[in-house]
Amino acid sequence: MSQSRTTILWLLAFPVCLLTAFFVMPLSVVLISSFTSGEGQFTFGQYGRILLDSYHWDVILVTFRLAVLSTLICVLLGYPLAWYLVRIVKWRSWRRACVILLILPLFTSNIVRSFGWMILLGRTGLVNEFLVSFGFVDRPLRFLGTETGILIGLVYILLPFMVLTIGNALAKVDPALEQASRDLGAGSARTFFSITFPLTAHGVLAGGIIVFSMAISAYVTPALLSGGKVTVLAMLAFQQYSTVFDFNYGGALSITLLVFTIALIGIASWLAKPRTPELEGK
């Protein structure tokens, strides 16, 4: 009896140590330093600096706008793509090729891919050349240094996560359910909104949370594509840590980002919670 208890304790000790070392400790350090003044005293001052200053609110707004928009665009692009891969492609090798193409960029560095977009989106880049030569626009558009440019980069980098999560959910929906819906008189749009989408909503939510949290904490892509003209919260925090060496203020920025993110994800999950409508007697 006592022996099995020690075994359990040992078994528990391992994950507890792991979680402490990798998750609790770093976060605690940041949390504590965010409540510390430059002289080592406890203070709310760091948060005061952030929340009482309209500049910071602007940065927070830009950060969230970019994250929310890239999540939405990823859903809108990712769902059809996942649908294509799971439902339309019949030829196995082609599907495999598509999935590899989708995943392959994830193995290369984020920095390289963002630089790639800098070249593509530049004034004389491929995108502008294409737009101008086909007469879509008169003059080259300015992408670099705008939120649009950052958005394009973020969507490109985060789309695979969305496609894979939605595709995974979609693959688990038995096509017979959609056929049953058609058989019972529903058109294809009604079938999608009544059957397919509700049954894959958890995948969309999971993909949304992944993409949103990666977009909101993204540093490399916004930093490279902003050209210094757009600032997101992660860039501000990085500045404090790397150039100003103000760990307390930087920590407070990180914690602010974390709190806002958790709040938004919490709200989104609550909204998306499946609520089976209570059927009354009649």
Residues near other proteins (CB under 8 A) are 174, 176-177, 179-188, 190, 194-195, 198-199, 274, 276, 279, 282
Q: Of 249, 257, 254, 229, which Cα lies nearest the Cα of 35?
A: 249
SS3 of residue 42 by DSSP:
strand
Under DSSP, the state recorded for 169 is H
User: What is the Cα–Cα distance from 127 to 116, expressed in whole angstroms?
Assistant: 12
Closest contact distance (angstroms) between CB of 198 and other proteins is 5
Closest contact distance (angstroms) between CB of 93 and other proteins is 16
Closest contact distance (angstroms) between CB of 76 and other proteins is 23
Closest contact distance (angstroms) between CB of 164 and other proteins is 23
Q: Look up tokens 């500049």; give the residue.
A: 55
Closest contact distance (angstroms) between CB of 205 and other proteins is 14
User: What is the Cα–Cα distance from 117 to 123, expressed in whole angstroms?
Assistant: 12
Cβ distance to other proteins smaller for residue 195 or 237: 195
Cβ distance to other proteins smaller for residue 114 or 196: 196
For 224, list phi and psi in degrees, rounded to 5: -75, -40
Closest contact distance (angstroms) between CB of 71 and other proteins is 24
Cβ distance to other proteins smaller for residue 4 or 276: 276
Cβ distance to other proteins smaller for residue 40 or 274: 274
Name the token pair of 277: 């409508």
Cβ distance to other proteins smaller for residue 44 or 197: 197
Cβ distance to other proteins smaller for residue 181 or 254: 181
Q: How far is CA 94 from the centre of its chain?
A: 28
User: What is the Cα–Cα distance from 213 to 276, expressed in whole angstroms?
Assistant: 28
Angle separating helix axes 147-171 and 197-216, nearest 10 degrees? 140
User: What is the Cα–Cα distance from 232 to 216, expressed in whole angstroms?
Assistant: 8
Contact 229, 184 (CB under 8 A): no
Closest contact distance (angstroms) between CB of 87 and other proteins is 14
Name the token pair of 75: 């859903």
Cβ distance to other proteins smaller for residue 93 or 276: 276
Contact 74, 164 (CB under 8 A): no
Rg (CA), the chain: 24
